[in-house]
Structure formats: C-alpha cells, structure tokens
Structure 1
Amino acid sequence: MSLIGKTEYPAPGTGVERDSLRRYVSRGLVPIGLLAALALGGCEDKAQSQAAAPPAPPVTVAQPVKRTVTDWDEFTGRFEAIEEVQVRARVGGFVNSVEFKDGAIVKAGDLLYIIDPRPFEAVVLQAEGQLADARAKGELAKRDLERGLNLVQTSAVSEQVVDQRRQALQAARAAETQAEGALKAAQLNVEFTHVLAPITGRVSRHLVTPGNLVQGSEGGSTLLTSIVSLDPIYIYFDVDETTYQRNSRLWFEGKRPSSRDTPNPVQVTLTGETKPSHEGKMDFLDNRLDVSTATLRSRAIIPNKDLSVLPGQFGRVRIVGSSPYEALLIPDTAIATDQSRKIVFVVKDDNTVEARPVVLGPLDEGLRVIREGLKAEDHVIVDGLQRARVGAKVTPKMAQAPAGDKAPAAPAGDKPAAGAKP
C-alpha cells in the first residue's frame, strides 16, 4: 500500500494550521486539486468576512444651544398663612348657634357664633338705670351749687356750704362717668355674644356645638375655630451658608441685587409638578443664621388668586443666583456618566466618536447648561447613545427643525426628527 493512500489530508475550510499544511506540501503528499480547493475556500472565507462587516450605526446629532441664561438657586420651603387667627369666646355663656359652614371662605365681619345674649342685655338695663340715676344726682348737685353761689353774695349761706355743694357736684359728675363706663362695658359684652370673623380667609371646622357652655376671657377663653388667610401666602425656606456667602459676594461686586432691599423674583414648584407654577418675590431675610443648621431663614410672598395653595404645603423655591450670562446648553439625556465624571459623545469630522468630559451647570427650560468642555460648533450625539462607541465610526444625522421651519438643522433644544427619541 502506498504512502499516499495512508495519509489523511486536511479538509478545505477546517482551519488546519499553515505549518502542518506546509509539511504535507514539502513532502509532496498533497495533490494539486486539493491545493486548489484549499485556496478557493480561503478566498470564499475572506469574501464572506468582508461582506459581513456591519455599516456604521446611525446616530442623531445637534449643536449646543447658545443663549443668555440666569442661574437659579433651589430650596425646599413650606407655605404659611400671612394672617392666622384663633377665634375664641370673649364672653362666657351658652352657644345658641353656629353661623358658618366648616371649611368655607369667610370675610372680615361675617357672623360665626351666637352666644346667649340675655344675661348681658339685663346687665345693660341695670347700667342704663345707674347712669340715669347718676345724671339726676348730678343735675341736682348743679342746681344746689347755683343757689349757693347766689345766696353767698347776701351772706345767707357761708362759703363752707358753697364748697360742700361744689364738691357734691364733682362727685355726682364722677359717678355719672363711672355709670357711662359700666354701660359701655355691658354693651360690649352684648356685642361680643355675636362672634365675628376678624379677618378674611378660610375657616376651619367648628369646635363647639350649640348648647355648650363656653368660657370668656375672664376664665380662660374657649377656642371656637380658626381662620387663615390664603391670598397672598408666604413660603419660608432656609438658605445654606455657602449660598448666602456667594450671593453676598455677588452683591458686593454689583452682579446681583440683595434680597434684603430688592424684591428678587422667585418661582415655586409644587409637589408633583415638573416645572414652576407660581411666581412671587422675596419679602424677608432673617438677621442671623441658625447656629444648629447654619442656614438663614428666608421668606417669599406668593400670589394665590385661585386659593389652591394651603398653609402647610411643601414647595421647591427657585431664586435668582447670578447675573445673566451667555451659555451653551444641551438636552439632559445627551449626558452620560463615567464613574465620577460627566461626559458627552461628540462626532468628529471623520465621523468617529469622542468622549468629552464636561462640567455641568443648572437646568434651564429643560436644557442643561454646560460650563466647560464643549464648543458651539461641536456635534453632540443626542439620540442613539447606546449605539456609539468611542473611536468607532457612526453615521451622523442632524436633528431636524420643527415642522414649518426652513432651517435645515436645529440646535439641541429643538424638536428632534421623526423617529428620533424625545
């Protein structure tokens, strides 16, 4: 049996190492046909690998928006009423009726409670009688004094008698004044039996029902209900020491007005909202920092025309933190995180992707301010970040302008093209 008959040749495309194939060829053990088949198989593999190379992935790019922005400082605050009153009984007695609906809006002077006025009306009658008696005695003392002055001229009475009558008139007038005061006090008590709303606002529930005995101011007055004003309304928040020092420095440099003497604008975002819904102005800064929290108590006043905001609610307060300046902005979704760094992916002129570290600023109308790391002419990937690889090529597509615009490309803050992610 020949040697060739005993030899096993490598099959085409099986990936046998080249040095093994060379050994077969050097010994003359490989037929020409087999060599041709192997060569043809290698060419086919190369052609298949070239045909299988994927195209550069498509991405959407846009240039940063350049516009004038103002930084805002943001804090958590709580709303409080400008006016808050605890309505208490000013006279004691039994409650006859409750004249308001729980939780309703009341105006100053509206009737809230009626306390039984009859005991106080009786006291008024007594005071009126005492006043009439004092006035009658005063009139009699006046006439006695006049007669004494006439008689003393003829020495019919002595000077001592005249002095006594003069003193009696003064005492009668003093008694009359006391009686007038007692009558006014009694009339006030009758007036206090009708409990009126001292301010305009929303009333709480009634705490005393008809038939109950309430105490007046003499014996510890009974709490009847409470009223809070709603429009406008305060919001209190605490400014940290670092922000306070920065704002003070800007004020000394003339770059930002102080909220102590200027009603700087504020914006408030309520719980569950994504953007500010109420606007107001600064109203107060405390005169010292809290030593336990190193914060400065601050206050803004907010219009509340629809009465939708109630005391006790939370809100996010935004206050001007800088003077206006030119800035570059991109969508927040175009920013990625690389450990502790923030990066964006920029498409260079040769369509390769570069990771660019950036320094972020605040959000402004849905876009993120980029303080460092970008130029206005850069093309930032705003859609397709998951398909981009650093150093690899991509197929960039400029974000289209909103329908109706003639501009071929739009900045990063405009509406993306159809099919692009928002």
Structure 2
Amino acid sequence: MIRTHLTPRAWRALAATGLAVAVALVVAGCDTQAQDQNQPPPPDVGVAAVLSEQVQDWNDATGRIAAVESVELRPRVSGYVQRVAYAEGDEVKQGDLLFVIDPRPYRAALQRAEAELARARADAQLATTRHARAQQLIDASAISRDDFEARSAGRAEAEAAVRGAQAAVETARLDLAFTEVRAPVAGRAGRAMLTTGNLAQADASMLTTLVSQDPVHVYFETDERTYLRHQAMSREGTRTNVDNAVRVGLADETGYPHAGTVDFLDNQIDPATGTVRARAVLPNPDRRFTPGMFARVQLEGAAARPAILIDDKAVITDQDRKFVYVVGEDNTAQRRDIVPGRIVEGLRVVESGLAAGDRVIVNGVQKVFMPGMPVAPKAVAMRGGAPIEAVAKR
C-alpha cells in the first residue's frame, strides 16, 4: 500500500476542484431538464385522407342570357292610340290585347267597301241576266254577234268587279282588326313607347317590346381546342354537336346551379378570336333569368375520369410551385410537391404528386414551419374540414 502525503494547501485545492466539478454537473443537469420542460408539444392539425373519385371535366366560358323570342311590336295601321290595354312589365299570353288604335276610320272604310261589294254584285247579277237573254237572241239570230260579245264581256267585267270589291272588303276588315294590337308571343311586355293620344305610324312607330320567359337562351364563346374536342367526340358517337350539357351560374350565385343543353353551334370560327359561338337552352320556370344578364357557363368536356381530390385550403404556394404537407406513420409533416388541376365540386383536382391513401394536412397548415416537424393529427372530413365524429352524426 502506497501512502501519498499531501500538504494542507494541496488538500484544500483538491477539495475546491471537486466541488467545482460537482457544481458544474448539477448545473448541466438542471439546464437539460429545463430545456426538456420548455420544448412545446406538437401542434394539433386536421388531417384528411385524399379522395379518389370519378370527375367530369368542364370548360369555363362567359355568356349572356337572351330570350328565345323577342319582338319589337309595331302597328300595322296608322292612327291615334285610343287605349293602352296592359300593365307595363306584366307577363302576357299570346293573343292578349295590348293597344287599341282609333278604329272609327277603319270601321267606316269597311262599311264603304261592303257597300261597293253589294253594288258590284248587283251589277254582276244584271250582267248575268243580260248575257242569258243575249244567248237566247243569238240562237234566234235576233241580235248581231257584236252585241252578244259585248254583253258577254259585260258579264265578265261585272264578275271581276265583284272579286275586286270582295278583296277590298277583306283589306278593310284586316285594317279594322289591326286596330287592336295583340301579343304575337307569350312573354313579358316592356314599357309603352306610345301612350293614349299619340299618333302611331304603320310599320314605323314602336309600341313596346315583348320577350319570352321560359325557356331562355344563353350565348357564349368556346375556344377552338374545345370545339375540336367536341367534334372528335361527335365523330366517335359519344354525343352530337348540340347535346352537350352546360351548367350556368349568375353573378350572385356560387357554383353552377342551373343545368341546360347546347342546341346550336355556329357554322364558322371567328378568325380574329379563335372562338366559335354556341347557344344553350335553359328552363326558366321561376323567372330567375332575365334577358341581358351576365352568366358564368361551364361546358361539359371529356368523359368522366378517376382523379385525386383535396381541399384547396391544403395547397401552399412556394413561388411557382404548389405543395401540401402529408402526414406519415411517424406523425411528421412531409412536403409533397403537386400539380393542381381545376376545382370540381368544391375540391381541387391533383393531377400528380399524391396517391390514394395519402393523408393531407387540411386544418392548421400554418402551424407547420418546416418539413419533418412532428404534429398531432386529428382526422377530419376532406369536404368542409369538419371532424369525422361530427360528419358521422349528420
């Protein structure tokens, strides 16, 4: 056994060194424990599984609502307006009385024409009687051939006069009927351009306008590529050029709640714009559409295809790239670059970058600061982002 003899000063130095080491170890342990206690827990995020569904592609366009039948109502006879027989802005039926033009001059003209017809018929009757008598006399050689032919010509002239008088009566009767201006089509009548006491000129003065209400047309332009694709589908027999479905939304509506079909495609493409004019027909039983309205139009594209769908809130923009955060089995957020497509039924189509079964952060994506960050996922529904439990209770 070897004994080491230390001086008192050395013993004091050694004790001080051991105390310093012990204090350092205690401080280090406290710092490590403090760091562990100050580290925040993983953030709560809403995670939803991507949806794999059949989607229908639609081509967007803008259009205008137009009436199927639109009439500028003008008088067929001249005269002073005697009465406006409708309420401005009301819907009228075909044949309803709208305006009355003073009929008295035309009633007098009809009576005069009827009198002329009666006189012509009397003359024709007399000419017929004379012709019959002349026939008997010519058979007995009692009159000359010239007299007989003159009486025959007189009968023919009288019969022609009857036909002329009959035509005059019909014309006068039509003019009298035209003093009552009636609706040629059913629809909504505009304001009266001429009121009682004003002179209406035949075929010149406009009385009012009429526009039909149900159904309506929507005119829109579609690009050349879309037109060619529809032509190809027509040749393949999947549809004709005029049976494509359309969806329409108005300026105050979300989405495209109204459905219709294309019933007309123009016969040429505008070389200045590279578009072709199309027309769709829409039912309008509740009078939601008014001619002249702006409309957002979607034209049915190719046949339905499978696609990956996610909530658009999950998509993050990084300069010219789009990406989402996918939660793996270890509950860490991993960045996944995607190629987004169009919006379908409120969800974003993902053309590439995701696969069926991937779980995407939908709610709380702003809490994720970097890839690989641990998170506390909570299952939510992809549509609406509501918790799964809440969706199940609906």
**TM-score where L is the length of structure 2:** 0.90
Please list the CA deviations of residues 8-29 of structure 1 after superposition, one character each: whole Å capped at 9, or x if unmatched. Answer: xxxxxxxxxxxxxxxxxxx999
Contact 1:65 1:413 in 2 (8 A): no
Matches of 1:248 and 1:345, distance apart in 2: 41
Which residue of 202, 216, 224 maps to 1:241? 224
Structure 1 residue aligned with 2:205, among 203, 222, 226? 222
1:189 equivalent to 2:169? Answer no
Contact 2:341 2:348 in 1 (8 A): yes
Distance, in Å, in 1 between the alignment partners of 2:235 and 2:129 is 79
User: Aligned in 2, Cα 1:174/1:253: closer, same or farther, shift over 3 Å?
Assistant: closer
1:123 equivalent to 2:109? Answer yes
Aligned length in residues: 378
Q: Which amino acid aligns with 2:187?
A: G
- State how far apart, in whole Å, the 2-side matches of 1:102 and 1:371 are: 54
Say which SS state the counterpart of residue 97 (structure 1) adopts: strand
The 1:39–1:323 alpha-carbon spacing in structure 2 relative to 1, beyond 3 Å, is same
- Which position in structure 2 is the counterpart of 1:392? 373
Query: Match of 1:257?
Result: 239
Q: Distance in 1 between matches of 2:314 and 2:20?
A: 57
Given candidates 370, 376, 381, the residue that maps to 2:350 is: 370
Distance 1:364 1:241, change over 3 A: same
Q: Distance in 2 between matches of 1:109 and 1:95?
A: 19
| Aligned equivalent of 2:383 | 413
Q: 1:415 to 1:339 in 2, by over 3 A?
A: closer
Distance 1:193 1:156 in 2: 56
In 1: Cα distance, 2:331 partner to 2:240 partner: 49
Which amino acid in structure 1 is aligned with residue 186 of structure 2? T
Shift of 1:129: 1.2
Mapped pair 1:198 → 2:184? yes
Matched with 2:4 is none
Aligned residue type for 2:378: K
Among the aligned pairs, what percent are the same residue? 41
Q: CA deviation at 1:418?
A: 7.7
Q: 1:18-97 counterparts in 2 under 5 A?
A: 32-97=18-83
Measure, in 2, the Cα distance between the counterparts of 1:288 and 1:349.
57
Which residue pairs with 2:302 in the alignment? 322
- AA in 1 matched with 2:184: P
CA distance in 1, matches of 2:95, 2:36: 90
Q: How big is the shift at 1:136?
A: 0.8
How far 1:243 moved relative to its partner?
A: 2.0
Instruction: Say if 2:320 is the partner of 1:340.
Output: yes
With 34-43 and 275-284 compared, the bigger mean Cα shift is at: 34-43
Look up the equivalent residue of 1:233 and give its one-letter code. Answer: V
Amino acid at match of 1:266: V
Q: Which residue of 2 aligns with 1:231?
A: 214
Instruction: Give me the whole-angstrom Cα distance separating, in 1, the residues matched to 2:141 and 2:49.
Output: 118
Q: Which residue of 1 aligns with 2:134?
A: 148
User: Equivalents in 1 of 2:171, 2:269: separation in Å?
Assistant: 47
CA distance in 1, matches of 2:181, 2:174: 12
Deviation at 1:414, TM superposition (A): 6.7
Provide, for residues 159-197 of structure 1, a one-character-per-residue CA deviation record: whole Å limited to 9, x for no partner. 221111111111111111111111111111111111111
Structure 2 residue matching 1:288: 3-state secondary structure? coil
Aligned-partner SS, 1:266: strand
- Normalised by the length of structure 1, the TM-score is 0.85
Deviation at 1:34, TM superposition (A): 4.4
Distance in 1, Cα, partners of 2:53 & 2:389: 27
- The aligned counterpart of 1:12 is none
Mapped contact 1:74–1:317 kept (Cα < 8 A): yes
| Counterpart Cα distance in 2 of 1:245 and 1:29 | 94
Q: Which runs of 5+ in 2 are unaligned?
A: 1-12
C-alpha distance in structure 2 between counterparts of 1:36 and 1:419, whole Å: 55
Aligned equivalent of 1:165, options 135, 145, 151: 151
Q: Of residues 285, 301, 304 in structure 1, which corresponds to 2:265?
A: 285
- Secondary structure of the structure 2 residue equivalent to 1:318: strand
Shift of 1:384: 1.3
SS in 2 for 1:290: coil
CA distance in structure 1 between the partners assigned to 2:61 and 2:35 by the alignment: 59
Structure 1 residue 267 and structure 2 residue 247: aligned? yes
Deviation at residue 276 of structure 1 after TM alignment: 2.1
After superposition, the C-alpha distances for 1:333-370 in whole angstroms (9 at most, x for unaligned) are 11111211221111122222211121222222222222
Gap regions ≥5 residues in structure 1:
1-26, 400-409
Give the whole-Å Cα distance in 1 for the aligned partners of 2:241 and 2:317. Answer: 36
**C-alpha distance in structure 2 between counterparts of 1:249 and 1:308, whole Å:** 34
SS in 1 for 2:207: strand
CA distance in 1, matches of 2:340, 2:31: 49
Change (3 A) 1:304 1:197: same
Q: 1:94-153: per-residue Cα shift (whole Å, max 9, x none)?
A: 111110001000111111111111111111111111111111111111111100100111
Alpha-carbon distance in 2 for matches of 1:386, 1:231: 49
